[in-house]
Structure formats: C-alpha cells, structure tokens
Amino acid sequence: MSGLILLTGTVDEITVNRREALRYLGYRGRQADDGIDALFDRAHSALAACAAPKACYRAYELTAQGDTLQFGELRLQSASLKKNLQGCRRLFLFAATLGAGVDRLLLRLQKTEPAFALVFDAYCSAAVEGWCNLVNGKLAEGRTLRPRFSPGYGDVPLSVQPQILSMLDATRKLGITLTDTLFMTPCKSVTAFVGIEGQGPRA
Amino acid sequence: MTLQQRLYAARTYFDGGMGTLLQKAGLPAGTLPENWNLSHPKVLEEIHLSYMNAGANVITSNTFGANTLKLDNLDEIIPAAYDNLARAKSRFSGDKDSVYLAFDVGPLGKMLRPLGDFPFEDAVAVFADSIRIAAQCGFDLILVETMSDLYETKAAVLAAKETCDLPIIVTNAYDESGHLLTGADVPAVVATLEGLGVTALGANCSLGPQQMKGIAAQYVQCASLPVVINPNAGLPKIADGVTAFDVDQEAFSDIMREIAALGVHALGGCCGTTPDFIRRTVEKTRDLPFKAPEEKHDTVVASYTHTVSLAGMPKIIGERINPTGKPKLKDALRRHDLRYLVREGIAQQDAGAHILDVNVGLGEIDETAVLQETVEELQSVLDLPLQIDTVRPAALEAALRVYNGKPLINSVNAKEESLQTVLPLCKKYGGVLIALTIGEDGIPDTAAGRTALAKRIIDRATQVGIDKKDIVVDPLCMAVSSDDNAAKVTLDSIRMIRETLGVRTCLGVSNVSFALPERADINAVFLSMAIQSGLSCAIMNPCAADMMRAFRVAAMVHGFDPHCENYISFALSHPHAASAAAPAAAKAGDEPTDLPPLMYAIVKGLQQQAADEAKRLLVSENPIALIDSQIIPALNKVGEAFEKSKIFLPQLLMSAEAASAAFREVSDKLPQTDGKKEQIILATVEGDIHDIGKNIVKVLLQSYGYDVIDLGKDVKPEAVVAAARKTGATLVGLSALMTTTLDAMAKTVALLKKELPHVRTMVGGAVLTQEYADLIGASGYAKDAMGSVKLAKRFFPEG
C-alpha cells in the first residue's frame, strides 16, 4: 500500500465528450446540431460555476488465488475483474467526484427548467468521466494501465463500495457518502480499479 | 476553572491526530479504530497521556466513528474510551484541573436529504444515541468535529443539546475556498452555531495550517465566541508505504504562532499531527498575550450557504409566499402544489429579494406539516435565508428544527402568551426575532408607546439569553385612510426605536394604502420615507416594479448603492412604459410561418412567448378549446417531427416546457372542477439511479397536461404502492436502465397488481422490450418518451 494522494482540478481542464453526453440523452446515433451544442455550452458554464473536482488514489500490491483477488484489506471474488487485471501485480484504487454543488444545482434545475436539467445531468455524467480520464492520465505517466473498472461492472457488486470508500478515506477527503442502496452522493462520483501492467515504477 | 471560564481567560490547547499514532502502534488498515478502546486500552491511555504531557488541555476520546451506523456495542466502546482518558488523566503529573476530557463526535458518513438520502431527524437520533451513553460517563464536553455539512452539524448539536448539559464545541472541515463541502461559508457557519448556543467553534482537518490562516481570520472577525483551530500537518504526500504529511512540527508550530496572533483562542492539531506538534505549538505561543473573544453586534441571518446582514443597505424580505389575499397560492396549498411556492420563491430571488418570508397559514391544511415541508422544499433549491412566519408554536418549532441556517422568526409580540411560547423556541434553535409592538391592549398610537413595548420585548428576550442584536422591531403600520396620523406615527417609531434602543427595524409597507386609490404610488413613497427614517428591512413584493423602483432609488440616494450599480441595472431592465418601444410583436417575424402565434411559440420552444400568447388568447377564447385547438396539436406536431428525426430531444423538451407554460396560464382560467388533472405516478425502480429517461417522460407528460407525481429514482416497490394508494392515481410509469434492476421492475408491477389491481402500469427504459413488459404483466410498454404519451392517452381517453 502506498500513501494516499489527493488531487483537485477545475472544469476547464476536463475534456467533456459531448458524444457521450448525447448518448445519455438517448440520441442513439443521431447527429448533434447547433441547438444542442448551445445547450451544452450553457451546461459547461453552469458546471464550471458549481463543480469542485476532487479525486484521491492509492496503489496496492495485488494477489490472486482462483477468482479471489486481494489488495490491501479488500478481498474480492470476481471473474470479470480478474480478467481485467490479468498479469497485473499492482493496481490503483481511485475515487473521483465533481462535488455536491452539482447535486444542488441539479435539484434546482429539475424544479425550474426540467428540460435543461436533463441536458445538464447528461453533460455532468460525461464530465465526471472526463475528470476520471484526466486523473487516469496522471496515473498513466510512465506506466501502462488497464481500462478503468468500476464496482457494478460485470460481477463486481456494489457491496464493495463501503470498503473502497473507507480504504481511500473518501468520505473525509472527497465528501463521498453512500445511500442505503449503495449509490454515491454527490451523484457525479466514480470509484474504480485500475490495473498496472508489469512492474512499473513505484506509485 | 471550568472549560468555559478557561476559554475566556487563557489560551487553550487541543490534542492532535489519533489515526497516525494508532497506525504506528500497529492498527491494521481497514480496522475500526474505535474497537481498540476495548482491545488495546493501554495504547490509547499512552497516547492520551502523551498529549497531556505535551501541554494539551482538551483531550479527545477515540470515538470519531462511534455511532450506531458503524458499531453495535457502543455501550461498551464509549465507556471504555472514557476510561482510557480517565486513567491517563489520573497518571498525569501536571495540573489536572486544566485537563478536560472531550467526547469526540465525527460525521456519520451519510449525506443528509435533499442531497443524499438520510433524513435529518434520523441523524439527530443517531448522534443522540452515542451522546446519551457519553453523558453517563463523566466527560467534560462534547466535541463535534470534521463536519463538512452545516445541516449534519446542526443535527449533532441539537442531539447534544437534547441529551446532555455539557458544553458543546464544534469544528468544521473547509476546503481551500473556505467553504464546507455543501457550500456554507464561515460567517454562515458562525451565525448558525452561535444561534444554536454552542460554547466555542472553529475549523479542523482537510487543510494544513498555512491554508487555514484565512479561515481562522474570518472566524475571529465574525465570531463572538472563542475560536478553535486544529489543522492537519499539511497535505498528505507520497512516502514509501505510509501516508505522510508535508509540514513538520517546526513549520507547523511557526504557523500556529501566526494563527494565535490573529486572535484565535484555542489551538491544536488534526490528521498527521503528534504530541510533538502540540508541544512545540504550546512552547512557541506561550509568550503571546491572550485576548478574550469580542462580542460582535451585527444582526445576521443565514441560509445554508451565506449570511445576510441587516446592517447597512436596507434589505428586502419577499412577501409573496403567503396565502393572505392570494387565491392562486391558497389553491396551490390546498392541492399541496409546493412547486408553485418554489416558483414564487425563485421569482422573488430573481427580482432582488434578500430574504423570503414563508407563511402557509390556511385553516384547512395541517400547517405544521406543510410549513416544515415548504421550508425543506425551498431550501433544497434556493439559497436565500428564510423568514418563518406563523402564529402556531408547533408549526414554528417544526420549521425551526429543519431549517438549515439561522432564520428570521416572524414573530413575537409583547403579550405574555407570545413571549412565553416564542422566546424559548428562539433561544433553543437560534434565529433573529421580529418583535411586533402589540401589547395586551393592542397597538399604542404613539411612537413612545410602541418604543416602550419594544423595550419590554427586548428585556424579556435578554432575560432568557437572546442577545439584543437578534431582535428586529416591527412598529407596524395601520391604514392611513382610517387614521390620518397612522403613517407618521410609524415613521416616528422607526426613528425612535433605532435611536433609543439601538436595534434594527422592519416593516410591511403595503398596509398603509389600504382602501385608497392608486395604492402603488402611496406604497412607493411611504417605503422611501421609511428608509429615510432608518428602516433596516422592508417586507414587500420585489416582483412589483413600482416598489422595486422606489427601493432602488431610496437605497441609492442614501448611499447604499456603490456606483449606482443596482439602480442602473434595475432601470435598464425596467424601462417606463413610455420609453419602451413595442418590441415583443416584431420578434415572431424572424421566420415566416403559417402557424398561429401560440402554436408557433410552442413548436419553437419559446416559453415566455407561449405564456404571453396564451394569456392574450384567453381574454376571448374558451380555455378548453384553446388546449384542444392549439396546445395539443402543436405538441403533436413536435412529437411527430421528433419521431421522424426532424428535430431532436432538446427541441422536443423546450417545446414541452413552452406548452407547459401555456398550460399554466390556461389552468388558471379553468373552473376548479374542470381543472382536476389526470394523475400519473413516475418512478425509476429500486436499485436504479438512472433517471434521465424518466425525467424526459415527466416533462412531456406534464406538457400534455397530466399531473405527474414524480417519486424520483431508486424507489422501493412498497413506496410506489403507497404513493398510488395515497394519491389515488390509476396509472404508474416505471423506468429501469440496467438489466440488474429488471427484477425490481417485475416486483413493483407484481406488488401493484396484488395490492391495487385497478392501477395500470406502463414500463420503459433502455433494457425493456415489449416481450419483457408482457412477461411481467405490465399494462403497456413505452419504447420512448412519446410512446409514454400515447399510452397515457390510451389509458385516459378523456384526457
């Protein structure tokens, strides 16, 4: 286990994939048009005014026995994560969030401008992915990484979330909490495992 | 010396980090540190003792996460944690009288509603469960720390107040911008906590001492209470194998000396600090003279983000959330349409209100429940401080409990009954109290008489411990039509109360013109004169341009509008009718169209134009006919274009909102019985938080005039059934996006069929198919948002 690293960022550093946001809005392959681009521009300014992107990560040694993976104090049975991490001896555990200001604005927009609220919601979902990509980019310096893998993918249950947040001290450091059904608040938050290929330099 | 005495007499030192020391002693990562109170009592005892030897006065128990959400043996852990402290203290060879044992209370790790799912009262109960045990142990104080949400902080403080008499010290965790995670700034936190009656307050954790200097300075500037600053040892950084911090004990204690010099009263440490950090801090600050906390005299209310001071520029209290004389608002309250109230609130904020009055007093509704719910609803979307306005003590208390900040309380008067019920509530929950100059014999007709009543209220308030600065006197104004002197006496009273009693004043100005023609003129002039007499806040309608013009001008000529900015921006956006050249009509002409203007506005998604056009047509046309001949056909046209991919989702939604705006105008004109809309319940099923699709459906259904009851996302089957039962809605729409939640969808449909067989269900979402819908027995499958509208039309053929 390495030390816990904290990162903060700004919305303007984040590359937001608008195609991704369109997908959340159900565009299913249709082309975007000027109208939606103008709405995304507005969503971007609104996001920049309310978001506080934060992330934290820590590297762990990884051991595997059968489908059981062990890193730090987390023991996890998962065929799909094992496949994702095949050949990795270390991994990063990370959490990222855009902050509670986004939730606050979303609540207000849903009551005042429901249509724009939807566009904003979709844009923020794409933005938190963009923020994760940015953090991922920093992790990848001098290493080869596997694709990000989050609880809820494949056979990794959401029930690992409490332990992940505790290992990263994410409630205290990032303000991420869980609902009774294990969803994260602030809503635009992500936790993930990222495999480190080969030996790599120490994190 | 008690802790309170000490905090005012000498610099006090808190202990430092616990986690780092426990890890050094072998606490495995992932183990709950609280369990070590039982399994490793010796380790804890040594840590506590080493902090005492370092010179710390306040020593905190190892109970940061000791609550029923994380542990089920609190009745063993908390007493053990106390014993560890007590044994250390008995071994301490220094001055035992200057050592105080604190029960440490950390956050619950749950986000409270509305941002999260945890109910406020549940948070109070969980905190109370721990503090109740602690209160039996012999602790000297409760230390609520590392709180990054103001609302949760309030829950913890209320729990402590309601379960013990120990002093309460609160330190909050800020980010680099000086805000809590959920948005509160330092003045808002200070106002709220001083209102709640804590003993001392300040900041801890998340920042190093350097980054915390600015926050410390803000505390000293606005707090009347002792200030505590407990920073981390800088920020965590990479170091082989372990978390390390980037500030060592020498650098830390150097900066702590600077922080002490700012006038901070108590110093300690948090994550990464050790007894050596505290020892060096004590040594380096010993020679600095101590300055006791200074009483501040500003009158301040707070929302969950910021404060509004009633000093300086006069403030506007928006009066529109009040059913008196407002049939539409009355109707909204009867229908429990809180969205209407929220819209009123937002309109007033946009128009320039600083504070919002909230009054839902209406004979036929449960005022206690509705007032509480309205406060929660407003503070979920509006960051203005609220003025809680009710004559019912139970409703007042319910609203004060859930209010997130320091509210205005409207009101108390000089009658015995009022003083006895309202003052204790104000004292317990904190707030700025509006004092009406009404006595047992009514309203005195002289300024001297009203000033005397104001003085009586202030005296009684200070007797129960409410500071004079938290009283705002409303000298009241009668109609000038019934008494020639009515307005003059009020103006004289404002001046006399301000000059002789030194308190702020407020006034509802519109009563003065009752029963006279051209009331707006009278109100505007009277408002200017009241401001001239020194009025601190006006209860008025900020959406009335005449009143706002008078307010902006009066504020400007009294020097409260730097560079006339507020006035200029108001005047430019509100030109007089004469200077405004007919702009609106020309607008529609930018694109040739065969459509009537209303249909055009809906098709183009022009909200304001759709509303204006509907209003214009309603003068002559039948509302029902307008819906059938224009609104619905326009929407159908848009829907068709969407299905053919000629237009895209955002346009569809903008059109839907324009139609809704037109529909609102129409429904105002509909007779009450005809206005009853078909109700549809919508929910994203349990385990699923994807609600974009569900929200699209909601916007569209609303635009077609259906009354949509949105249960939100991640909704349990039982909750769906309960809502259908409560509202009597006969159509339920369910959405699911993940294959893993299809089960929950099936369960919800099955439970509805079992409990309420007459209720129909329509289902949709990315993973749904007609086959699956049939399989689980849903009444209909909507392939997209337009599909749900078609289904609704089929289920409600009349609608």
Q: Strand B408-413 to strand B244-245: parallel, antiparallel, or no bridges (unpaired)?
A: unpaired
Q: Which of B641, B669, B697 is the last residue of a domain?
A: B669
Search chain B and give the residue with CA nearest A103: B115
The answer to whether B236 contacts A203, with C-beta atoms less than 8 Å apart, is no
A66 vs chain B: nearest CA distance in angstroms? 23
**Once rounded to an integer, what is the mean pLDDT over residues B4-22?**
94
A7 vs chain B: nearest CA distance in angstroms? 11
The answer, yes or no, to whether residue B587 has pLDDT greater than 70, is no
B696 vs chain A: nearest CA distance in angstroms? 7
B296: tokens are 């501040």
Domain span at residue B126 reads: 3-285
* Whether B270 and B404 share a structural domain: no
d(CA B210, CA B216): 10
* Whether B683 and B665 share a structural domain: no
Q: Among the listed ranges A3-12, A167-176, B13-22, B99-108, which one has the minimum average pLDDT value?
A: A3-12
Q: What is the pLDDT of residue B674?
A: 47
Within a domain: A203: no
* Whether B358 and B243 share a structural domain: no
pLDDT in tens, A39-75: 899 999 999 999 999 999 999 999 988 889 999 889 9
Q: Which residues of A touch B176 (CB under 8 A)?
A: 8
The answer, yes or no, to whether residue B461 has pLDDT greater than 80, is yes
Q: Which residues of B touch A111 (CB under 8 A)?
A: 339, 342-343, 346, 381
Within a domain: B292: no
Q: Which of B573, B598, B632 is the last residue of a domain?
A: B573
CATH code, B741: 3.40.50.280
pLDDT in tens, B484-540: 999 999 999 999 999 999 999 999 998 899 889 999 999 999 999 999 999 999 999
Total structural domains within chain B? 4
Within a domain: B578: no
Within a domain: B294: no
Total structural domains within chain A? 1
The answer to whether A73 contacts B107, with C-beta atoms less than 8 Å apart, is no
- Best mutation target among A27, A110, A116, A123 (most B Cβ atoms within 10 Å) is A110
Please name the residue that has the structure tokens 């809005």: A25
A101 vs chain B: nearest CA distance in angstroms? 7
The answer, yes or no, to whether residue A200 has pLDDT greater than 70, is no
* Whether B588 and B440 share a structural domain: no
The answer to whether B28 contacts A73, with C-beta atoms less than 8 Å apart, is yes
Sheet of B227-230: strand order equals B12-13, B266-267, B227-230, B200-204, B168-172, B141-147, B100-105, B58-60
* Whether B566 and B588 share a structural domain: no
d(CA B606, CA B614): 12
Q: What is the pLDDT of residue B584?
A: 42
The answer to whether B696 contacts A107, with C-beta atoms less than 8 Å apart, is no
B292/A contact by beta carbon, under 8 A: no
d(CA B55, CA B139): 19
Q: Which residues of B touch A163 (CB under 8 A)?
A: 30
Within a domain: B773: yes
Q: What is the pLDDT of residue B605?
A: 81
Within a domain: B295: no
Domain span at residue A80 reads: 5-197
Q: Which of B548, B573, B598 is the last residue of a domain?
A: B573
- Best mutation target among A1, A158, A167, A171 (most B Cβ atoms within 10 Å) is A171
E-strand spans in B535-607? 537-540
B600 vs chain A: nearest CA distance in angstroms? 17
B644/A contact by beta carbon, under 8 A: no
Within a domain: B213: yes
B723 vs chain A: nearest CA distance in angstroms? 20
pLDDT in tens, B646-659: 776 767 778 888 88
**Once rounded to an integer, what is the mean pLDDT over residues A162-172?**
91
Res. B364 pLDDT band, cuts 50 70 90: confident
Q: What is the pLDDT of residue B162?
A: 97
- Average pLDDT of every residue of chain B: 90
CATH code, A40: 3.40.109.40
Q: What is the pLDDT of residue B255?
A: 96
3-state secondary structure of B462: helix
Res. B237 pLDDT band, cuts 50 70 90: low
* Whether B499 and B634 share a structural domain: no
Search chain B and give the residue with CA nearest A108: B381
**Once rounded to an integer, what is the mean pLDDT over residues A126-135?**
96
pLDDT in tens, B540-586: 999 999 999 999 999 999 999 988 889 988 988 888 765 544 444 43
Q: Which residues of A touch B687 (CB under 8 A)?
A: 181
Complex confidence, ipTM: 0.81
Sign of CA dihedral B715, B716, B717, B723: negative
Q: What is the pLDDT of residue B608?
A: 82
**Once rounded to an integer, what is the mean pLDDT over residues B179-200?**
96
B338/A contact by beta carbon, under 8 A: no
Within a domain: B432: yes
